[in-house]
Structure 1
Amino acid sequence: MNGTTDSANGPLDGVRVIDLSTVVMGPYAAQILGDLGADVIKIESPSDTVRSGLYRTTPGMTPLNLNVNRNKRSVSLNLKDDADRERALALIGTADVLITNMRPGALARLGLTYADLADRHPGLVYAHAQGFRSDSDRAGHAAYDETVQASSGLVDVANRALGRPVYLPTIIGDKVAALTIVYAVLAAMVHRDRTGRGQHIEVPMTDTLLAFNLVEHLSGHVYEPAEGDTGFPLSMKRGHRAVATADGLACIMPYTPQNFRDVFTAAGRLDLAEDPRVAGPAIEDADVDPLLELVARCAPGLTTTEWEEICAKQSVPMAPVLELDRAADDPYVRDGHLLDVVEHPSEGPIRSVGIPVRYSATPGSVRRLAPLPGQHTDEVFDELAAARS
């Protein structure tokens, strides 16, 4: 299958987005808007780091690029060149949304700050993402996912829970910030539709991940003065982990006393099912870790499939651990078209990550796979010239 369609009928059909961003955060946000039907035009240079590294046939067409730049048209411009900068400004004049993660100093030198553009384009929704707030003493600091995990408290949580100050093995700061850009842009577009006025949106990665992190981990420090420690109690337990079954790994996560009784009964441990610690209306905090350790000891007695069937019947939270190397063969992934093989014009067969949101009336779609650098420069500017004539 080719996995693409020529027409856009998603909820953002008719919206134009200029993607003036690099790496993952901004491009991922722009791709999501493209998946939902927006016409996304990426202004880029071949030096973007997502185009560096492993590739199959074409330099620049890396796995990361293929995963964050679909549903876009690529325009190559050197913004330090006066003529190319004027072409970029003309293109921005046709847009509803601009997304950038360029540093403020660079934007100022190029005449591409919101202040530079707002008078000429009062309806423009201008989303600027960076590592730290523009009014902070860290405003100009370089920021990457690891620094954001550190500055948001996520590394502290990992250190306390795991005994090691590790970074989460996913670029969570970039991706959470990308999702925040998306909802911020959509809200600003609602405001613009009501008032005719665009606005400047600032999405600092550290602030975004800190807010995300503290939803549960602020815990006892919600109160002033504090009435307990920070850190969500269950997440900080040593037993809060996947367990080994007879043939693999699974999340078996009983929450209620009845859940624990059902798990122990299924494992043939009636003695544990009658344990006083699971007899009451709730599990005492001090008992959670030892009980989870007992679950881990019981789990190897059954296969993952057996546990899945039992837990589904008894409403015990459970899921097999998905091995990423085998994700494409997983029935849930396959049946949901979450990782389909599609034919890329230059790269041949590739796996394309599915669109996770489903709309009953205006579904998103993959209309274009990730473009070559500058692939649509002539096409886009021919359209612009035609619109002006």
Structure 2
Amino acid sequence: MTAPAKPQDRSGPLAGLRVIDLTSVVFGPYATQIMADMGAEVIKIEPPAGDNTRWISQGPVPGMGGIYVNVNRGKRGVMLDLRQDQDKETLRRLIATADVFIHSMRGSAIRKLGFDYEAVRAIRPDIVYTNCYGYSRRGPEADKPAYDDTIQAECGIPYVQGLMNGEPGYVATIMADKVAGLHALHATMMALFHRERTGGRSKGEGQEVEVTMFEAMSSFMLVEHANGAIFSPPTTPAHYHRAVERNRRPYRTSDGYIAALVYNDKHWDAFIEAIRPEWAIGDRGEEFSTLEKRARQIGRVYGLLGETFLTRTTQEWLDTLRALHIPCAPLRSTDELFDNKHLNAIGFFEEVETAQGPVRFPGVPTWFSATPGRVHGAAPMLGEDNQAVLAELDGNAEAIAEKVDAPK
């Protein structure tokens, strides 16, 4: 089995950073998973029942489902019952050694436990303290429970899916959790940058950070869907017409499907010259002559392209479009990603030996020339690192074993 790397053995731009992680499910753990991949020592604190994500997906061992194992890889696992005073004291001692404290509890719950920002800052004044909430504490929905489905609904995803498909629907990925997790990551890093710029560890200025799913997803959705609604008065409804056009879908070919974007003037001109020269003459040539004109009737354009793509096989179209430098791709299943020649050529997947057998992790998607990240080991069993982590605090593993009933 490959245990999570020790702090001194970690590599990456965040090596030397210690993160106390009280997050669960995917939003917070996805942010801290990336921190661990980038070299941070992430200590995942779990209650005796464990993170719910242990149980919601499949794995060879109970309590070690695939989603949990993936988003908690490379972390150290400590089980603490924060209803107990001695375990609260243990957490305080860990906080005193940390650079980052991140949690995903409701504001009222973390405050009741005694680990709100003011309490944590009293222990470690330079700490970066990141709250992962559903809704901002500054608004009327503060402390309201939030899950990916409900946030997708609130931020308009099912609505725009309905514009495209005729009926509202969720997108088939937990987008809100992952987008919010990325926001939690970069917000925490920016706060750490500020601390470094104002004096660094122990001397720099720590601060409290709040990252919320609803606000993060509202910002994300309105990048393009704000469209003309940002003006006063609005010039369009709040949706991007091309993105919700019902004909915007993979094109059916004579033997399958293909994704292709014959969109800008360069791609359009190359396509009609090679495939549909008749579209360049007469009234049609004029009405389709510029990107602006095509964008105003994009549904009709998609429909005509759809009829054209039916005339050849997927591979024939791939060969033709690639020769014309028009963006295109075959449709692949998520299973096929594990055998993707590009991903395998760059060593994207990292295999780690664990107590459950070998695990093939999707690896680090970013590249650094001087401080590359990597998967720093397996995900922890519940409380796996209690003795080791707590021994580092007081140097007495036997006494800790008596105090903390850590699962073996």
Structure 2 residue 274 is matched with structure 1 residue 271: no
Structure 2 residue 181 is matched with structure 1 residue 178: yes
Alpha-carbon distance, 1:303 to partner: 3.3
CA distance in 2, matches of 1:221, 1:54: 40
Which residue in 1 is equivalent to 2:233? 225
In the TM superposition, 1:236-251 aligns within 5 A as 236-251=244-259
Change in 2 beyond 3 A, CA 1:181/1:53:
closer
Alpha-carbon distance, 1:181 to partner: 0.6
**Aligned residue type for 1:289:** G
Are the equivalent residues in 2 in contact too, given 1:248–1:304 (CA < 8 A)? yes
1:345 to 334, 354, 360: 354
- Runs of at least 5 residues in structure 2 that lack an aligned partner in the other structure: 199-203, 397-408
Alpha-carbon distance, 1:265 to partner: 4.9
Alpha-carbon distance, 1:296 to partner: 1.5
CA distance in 2, matches of 1:381, 1:353: 31
1:137 to 137, 140, 151: 140
Which residue in 2 is equivalent to 1:335? 345
In the TM superposition, 1:252-263 aligns within 5 A as 252-263=260-271
Which residue in 2 is equivalent to 1:384? 393
CA distance in 1, matches of 2:133, 2:82: 19
**Aligned residue type for 1:384:** L
- Runs of at least 5 residues in structure 1 that lack an aligned partner in the other structure: none
Q: Match of 2:233, SS?
A: coil
Change in 2 beyond 3 A, CA 1:40/1:4:
closer
CA distance in 2, matches of 1:331, 1:68: 24
Alpha-carbon distance, 1:305 to partner: 3.4
Q: Match of 1:119, SS?
A: helix
Which residue in 1 is equivalent to 2:402? none
> What's the TM-score, normalizing by structure 1?
0.93
Alpha-carbon distance, 1:348 to partner: 0.9
Change in 2 beyond 3 A, CA 1:2/1:312:
farther
Alpha-carbon distance, 1:72 to partner: 0.3
In the TM superposition, 1:193-208 aligns within 5 A as 193-195=196-198, 196-208=204-216
1:292 to 281, 289, 302: 302
Alpha-carbon distance, 1:269 to partner: 3.6
Q: Match of 1:31, SS?
A: helix
Alpha-carbon distance, 1:211 to partner: 0.5
Structure 1 residues 1-10 or 257-266, which shifts more?
1-10
Structure 1 residues 174-183 or 308-317, which shifts more?
308-317
Q: Match of 2:293, SS?
A: coil
Runs of 4+ in 1 over 4 A off after TM superposition: 1-6
Structure 2 residue 400 is matched with structure 1 residue 363: no
**Aligned residue type for 2:150:** T
**Aligned residue type for 1:92:** I
**Aligned residue type for 2:10:** A
Alpha-carbon distance, 1:270 to partner: 3.2
Structure 2 residue 322 is matched with structure 1 residue 319: no
Structure 2 residue 76 is matched with structure 1 residue 73: yes
Which residue in 1 is equivalent to 2:381? 372
Change in 2 beyond 3 A, CA 1:378/1:235:
same
Cα deviation digits, residues 27-78 of structure 1 (max 9, x gap)? 1100001111101100013432101144433221001111100010000111
Which residue in 2 is equivalent to 1:15? 17
CA distance in 1, matches of 2:391, 2:373: 27
Q: Match of 2:369, SS?
A: coil
1:213 to 211, 221, 241: 221
CA distance in 2, matches of 1:28, 1:352: 14
**Aligned residue type for 1:347:** Q
Which residue in 2 is equivalent to 1:106? 109
Are the equivalent residues in 2 in contact too, given 1:263–1:295 (CA < 8 A)? no
CA distance in 1, matches of 2:290, 2:93: 69
Aligned length: 385
Which residue in 2 is equivalent to 1:190? 193
**Aligned residue type for 2:11:** N
Are the equivalent residues in 2 in contact too, given 1:254–1:260 (CA < 8 A)? yes
Are the equivalent residues in 2 in contact too, given 1:13–1:36 (CA < 8 A)? yes
